[in-house]
Structure 1
Amino acid sequence: MRKLQTQGVHHITLTGADRQSSIDFWEGVLGMPFVFDQPNLDNPREGHLYFDPGDGRLITVFTNEDRKPVHDRTPTDPGCVHHLAFAVSLATFRQVAKRLDARGIRHSGPKDRGFMDSIYFTDPLGLLIELACYRFEPPRGYAHADVMIEAHRLRVARGDYNIQEQHLADAIELLVERSQQSLSEDRSPKNPY
């Protein structure tokens, strides 16, 4: 028996309402360029819209002009999607609450997640959307996941409840020490003062 190794999210497809409400939300609120449009090849009564969430991957939406937005919270039963999270810059994150308020969109306000900050709101169909901003940048050659696994190991070893900024900083230091050579024989902290 062998694994089916994935290499990233290819796309996520959602069931939307009508075409224009989908475009208005995904591009008009979240700024995702509308990059491709064709019929749903499995159901010719539906459209299939494609949006770029900012990393070249795709969010796609099946639309049908007979479906209208329903504002109820989408189900959170086992097997259902709880929420979708999208990355934003710190500059954007600091503007999210104000910009949602200007549109009259209710939101959670900023949430401290230790390793990132988040804010939550629902799309016009009741799907919970999270806009998230990491509190760190990984060292050159590493991904956010590399820092997260090191920070997790440090958190567990120290008996801490959740990842905090000190775990991230120490994880980044460890990764740099492993990957970047130095002419110094002793790379331990020093006090030059």
Structure 2
Amino acid sequence: MRKLQAQGIHHITLMGADRQTSIDFWEGLLGMPFIFEQPNLDRASESHLYFDPGDGRLITIFTSEDRKADPARTSTEPGAVHHLAINVSKATFSQAVERLDERGIKHSGVKDRGFMDSIYFKDPLGFLIELAAYRFEPPAGVSYAEVFVEAHKIRVERGDYNIAEIHLADAIEAIVERTQRSLSDDRTPKKAY
């Protein structure tokens, strides 16, 4: 038996409101370029809008002129998607509350997630959106996932409840020591002064 090896998310498709409301939200609020449109090939009465979330992959939205904005929360029953988290820079994140407030969009305010910060709000149809900003950058040539694996090991060894910045910092230090060469014989921490 062999796996069907995943190599990333190809796209995510969400149910949207009408065409213009969807464009205004995904491009006008979240800055995702609207890159193409075609009919929903499985339902001709709907349109299929494609947006670039910033990494060249796709978020697509099925729209219908019969669906209008409705802020009631979408289903969170088992099998339903709870929320979509969108990566933003620390610079953008620091402006998020102000930019949501100036549009009158209700939001959670900043939530401390230990390894990242989050803000939650709803799309025009009540689907929960999260803006997420990591509190770290991985070392050159190392993925975020590799840092998480190392930070998780450190957290579990220490018996801590959740990953925090100290686990990330120690994970990055361990990864750099393991993956980047040095001419020093002793790479242990030193008191330099």
> What's the TM-score once normalised by structure 2's chain length?
0.98
Distance 1:119 1:53 in 2: 17
Partner of 1:97: 97
Distance 2:190 2:116 in 1: 30
| Residue range with higher mean Cα deviation, 39-48 or 150-159 | 39-48
Q: How many residues align?
A: 193
The AA in structure 1 aligned to 2:41 is: L
Runs of 4+ residues over 3 Å off in structure 1: none
Alignment of 1:169-180 (within 5 A): 169-180=169-180
Matched, 1:8 2:29: no
The SS at the match of 2:29 is coil
Deviation at residue 192 of structure 1 after TM alignment: 2.4
Structure 1 unaligned regions, length at least 5: none
The SS at the match of 1:28 is helix
Distance 2:87 2:17 in 1: 24
Alignment of 1:131-170 (within 5 A): 131-170=131-170
Partner of 1:64: 64
Partner of 1:29: 29
Deviation at residue 106 of structure 1 after TM alignment: 0.6
Distance 1:65 1:192 in 2: 66
Distance 1:6 1:14 in 2: 21
Q: Deviations over 1:112-162 (max 9, x none)?
A: 101000000001100000001000000011111110110011000000011
Distance 2:80 2:125 in 1: 15
The AA in structure 1 aligned to 2:94 is: R
- 2:17–2:124: 8 Å Cα contact kept in structure 1? no
The SS at the match of 1:14 is strand
Partner of 2:39: 39
Distance 1:192 1:21 in 2: 58
Distance 1:94 1:86 in 2: 15
Partner of 1:110: 110
Partner of 2:75: 75
**Percent of aligned pairs with the same amino acid:** 73
The AA in structure 2 aligned to 1:20 is: Q
